Amino acid sequence: MDRSRLYRRFRTLLIANRGEIACRVIRTARAMGLRTVAVFSEADRGAMHVAEADEAVLLGPARARDSYLNIERVVESARRSGAEAIHPGYGFLSENAEFAQACADAGLVFVGPTADMMVAMGSKSGSKALMEKAGVPLVPGYHGEAQDEATLAKAADRIGFPVLVKASAGGGGRGMRVVGSGAELAPAIVSAKREAKAAFGDDRMLIEKYVQNPRHIEVQVIGDSHGNLLSLFERECTLQRRHQKVIEEAPSPTLSLRQREAVCAAARKAALAVNYVGAGTIEFVSDGNDVFFIEMNTRLQVEHPVTELITGTDLVEWQLRVAFGEKLPLTQDQITLNGHAIEARVYAENPQKNFMPSVGRIKTWRTPEAVDGLRIDAGYREGDTVSPYYDAMLAKVIAWAPTRQGAIDRLNRALEETDIRGVVTNVPFLSALVTHPDVRANAIDTGFIERNLNSLTDVSGAPGDLELGAAVAAILGEEQKTSQADVHSPWQTFGWMPVGCRQRLFSFRQGSGAELKVALRYGNGPATLSVGERQFGFAFSPAGDGGFEVTLDGTKSRIVAVIEGHELYLRTRNGRFDLRWVDPFGAGDEEQAGEDRIVAPLPGTVVALLAEEGATLEKGTPILTLEVMKMEQTLRAPFAGVLKKIKCRVGDIVQEGVELAEVEPAAA
């Protein structure tokens, strides 16, 4: 095969992917002076990767198979946009040999291996047969052609239980079952086959010895079209859930120097067996002593940044140089290992609801600044929508430090400073995970998360005084912000009131817990906050970007407090808290139900009357608007009825507790 035709210089690159990996590839391609073309589905018109590319082409409807998985459309988009090369990212078509071939046939450079190499390595069975020949250590198992029940059962018996039944075409942990005994084998095969057929259109199975206390170790390799092949050390990805990686680090804290050299040599041997070109990963499972080959991924991997951070390389740049037909820029002994890196995958999912994906609009997106030793690879921004069509990974947070402990600390700090609102995310779960003493001590195996699920997902304690103070600050801060008033008005400044001292009551609820009541007293002296019997001097000032300095009895504390409607999201030194503001103004709040008098819950000015005496009211019909602390608040009918009497006029300044209107309930 003439490789100079497959790998040659190009100026325009199409990225056949979405989300963070598309953004990641665009970043390097642009830095190398390439023109970038994004592709997108109808659901992704406003997506970040579309905004970041120089050009973007619509592929088709939202469903992946009509867009990102549609080979013809992707190749056609390259032609239409003048792209000469395609980077497939990971997932989607990245390991699809038919796609690699279609690119080659259309005269496009495919940034990756050739279709032949993918075919050789794409099936777990096929690659294991190849590795066996090359003398790479394998997990004992059966990876033959015959798929009849008797053959598989005999193989499992011979291997010895527990065994792992795996889809040969598998990926992403699907089509995989751990089987403890002979009796469980047949039903496990049936269900794994069903899953594999649906996911990969191929239900062939292989059987492996289930390695006890398994750890996942993998080696990054990259080859060029001149026969050079390098390994860039290993990663450990033992923290998994359902065979899917959650946290990844490099180097492995488990391997000795001798083991590291052995596993890297085995990986190079594996890749050389197919004269591999491009970036790839050789995956192994380890029992803590020996490592056994399980599969090769013929693409860039989600966790490639940890390797970049410990080797000081840019793997996407190397991929593109290899695709240009260049030689790899370094030799094996020029690749050195420096420090430790760890990555966490941020997903829109709810760990408390069995990791159910969460979709919706991202209302807040705040990640810490990328400083030395901290990298954030994101695919979403504030205002973006997480749709139900694709993988729910939002971003990766990656930390580097000279030591593993340092890297963990930095990662945890960065997770603590990450606020994403509007969708539920796994960020608190990730924090709990990386700070777990067993994770710090590397006393883990791939079952660690499953065994510790309860303690890892139950992360929110009861709110204390600081959190209640933070909640009050969030509400007052929001009221000041949304105020339409002249910014020079003294009303703007919290704590200053024209007359006397006022009291305002707040009530909060965490989940279905009891109501937590806080009284704020303010006027022309310093404000105080009372929680039950306790009283504190209280002050706060906005510190930008959702942050506040809250002072309770002279102790100043930095907090993050975001309010969305009645939902309060707080982050203090004690962790994260979600509270609901039981707002006396709010429509449909339990507080108002049954109350037939419309009362001023706070001192304010009547600014509008919205219903007339005698009017028929539905529950929630607006009656009048009060301006309180420069924020308009509409008082509504607590139930269906008739507006019997209005007891105020526009412009009235009313005191707390004053009756403003009377509603007569509709006859039952």
So which residues are the catalytic ones?
299
Sheet containing strand 641-646, edge to edge, reads 597-599, 659-665, 641-646, 616-617
Q: Is 125 in the site for ligand ADP (CB under 6 A)?
A: no
Helix axes of 97-105 and 115-122: crossing angle, nearest 10 degrees: 170
- What's the per-residue H, E or C state across 550-565? EEECCEEEEEEEEEEC
Q: Is 448 in the site for ligand ADP (CB under 6 A)?
A: no
CB-nearer residue toward ligand ADP: 61 or 586? 61
Subset of 175-204 contacting ligand ADP (CB under 6 A)? none
For residue 641, the partner it binds in Mg ion, ligand ADP, none, with Cβ less than 5 to 8 A by kind, is none
CA nearest neighbour of 267 among 225, 230, 299: 230
Which residues make beta-bridge pairs with 349? 357
Task: Tell me which amino acid residue 488 is.
Answer: H
Quote the CA–CA distance of 414 and 422 in Å, as a whole number.
20
Q: CB under 6 A: which stretch of 300-308, 401-409, 532-540, 563-571 binds ligand ADP?
A: 300-308
Measured over the CA atoms of residue 240, residue 453, residue 191 and residue 291, the dihedral's sign is: positive
- Comparing every residue's Cβ against ligand ADP, the nearest one is 91
Member of 224, 391, 416, 627 binding ligand ADP (CB under 6 A): 391
Query: Cβ of residue 205: shortest distance to ligand ADP, in angstroms?
Result: 12
Subset of 274-293 contacting Mg ion (CB under 5 A)? 283
Query: Cβ of residue 216: shortest distance to Mg ion, in angstroms?
Result: 8
Cβ contact 294:285 at 8 Å: yes
Q: Is 206 in the site for ligand ADP (CB under 6 A)?
A: no
Distances (CA, A) of 55 to 34, 380, 416, 419: 12, 18, 35, 30
By rule CB under 6 A, what string of x and - marks binding of each residue 271-290 to ligand ADP?
------------x-x-----
Q: Is 91 in the site for ligand ADP (CB under 6 A)?
A: yes
Q: What tokens were used for 560? A: 């993050």
Q: CB under 6 A: which stretch of 28-36, 242-250, 306-314, 543-551 binds ligand ADP?
A: 242-250
Q: CB under 6 A: which stretch of 165-173, 329-337, 500-508, 535-543 binds ligand ADP?
A: 165-173
Q: Is 665 in the site for ligand ADP (CB under 6 A)?
A: no
Cβ contact 38:112 at 8 Å: no
Quote the CA–CA distance of 50 and 48 in Å, as a whole number.
5
Number of residues that bind ligand ADP (CB under 6 A): 36
Q: What tokens were used for 279? A: 């970036």
CB-nearer residue toward ligand ADP: 284 or 536? 284
Q: How does DSSP classify residue 623?
A: E
For residue 139, the partner it binds in ligand ADP, Mg ion, none, with Cβ less than 5 to 8 A by kind, is ligand ADP
Query: Cβ of residue 81: shortest distance to Mg ion, in angstroms?
Result: 33
Three-state DSSP at 94 gives coil
Q: Residue 550, Cβ neighbours under 10 Å: how many?
A: 26
Member of 77, 81, 225, 240 binding ligand ADP (CB under 6 A): 240
Q: Is 302 in the site for ligand ADP (CB under 6 A)?
A: yes
Distances (CA, A) of 309 to 301, 314, 317, 400: 14, 9, 14, 7
Cβ contact 207:141 at 8 Å: yes
Query: Cβ of residue 161: shortest distance to ligand ADP, in angstroms?
Result: 12
Q: Is 377 in the site for ligand ADP (CB under 6 A)?
A: no
For residue 393, the partner it binds in Mg ion, ligand ADP, none, with Cβ less than 5 to 8 A by kind, is ligand ADP
Query: Cβ of residue 437: shortest distance to ligand ADP, in angstroms?
Result: 22
CB-nearer residue toward ligand ADP: 396 or 436? 396
CA nearest neighbour of 156 among 132, 192, 126, 120: 192
CA nearest neighbour of 101 among 81, 76, 75, 70: 75
CA nearest neighbour of 393 among 344, 429, 437, 436: 344
Member of 208, 234, 377, 467 binding ligand ADP (CB under 6 A): 208
Q: Is 136 in the site for ligand ADP (CB under 6 A)?
A: no
Q: Is 241 in the site for ligand ADP (CB under 6 A)?
A: no
Q: CB under 6 A: which stretch of 170-178, 220-228, 562-570, 656-664 binds ligand ADP?
A: 170-178
Distances (CA, A) of 580 to 98, 517, 559, 647: 52, 12, 17, 31
Query: Cβ of residue 91: shortest distance to ligand ADP, in angstroms?
Result: 2
Query: Cβ of residue 65: shortest distance to Mg ion, in angstroms?
Result: 23
CB-nearer residue toward ligand ADP: 21 or 374? 21
Binding stretches for Mg ion (CB under 5 A):
283
Binding stretches for ligand ADP (CB under 6 A):
17-19, 21, 89-92, 139, 164, 166, 170-173, 208-211, 214, 216, 240, 243-245, 283, 285, 294-295, 297, 301-303, 391, 393, 446
